[in-house]
Structure 1
């Protein structure tokens, strides 16, 4: 589940499986913008977003940082 840290305003992901916490975004506003851009790109793509394999590939791409503008 996604949560907001009231002290920092950061959006975090809380895993219900092991209760681990992962950083998602600096603020709900930035997270919403990220989701808006992501949805726009997904619907503009040629792949079928209803295909279960599509989401596995997207998850792999995100985990590898393919959608990040940050230089390593």
Structure 2
């Protein structure tokens, strides 16, 4: 459980950080308010991304494992 929690925190942090930057850039461009808008978007996105990743990872992992186990038969 500790590994799942740590991995989810690190992965959701990186994905939220990068994707919020990208979406902010696409929507606003490099404006004077880019950094503030990006950090606001990131602060809103990371908790949601963490909850979704933490909840969705186990069933997705199971589906992938089943998919690959069928492939190898």
Q: Which has the higher helix share?
A: 2
TM-score, structure 1 as length reference: 0.35
Q: Which has the higher strand share?
A: 1
TM-score, structure 2 as length reference: 0.35
Larger radius of gyration: 2
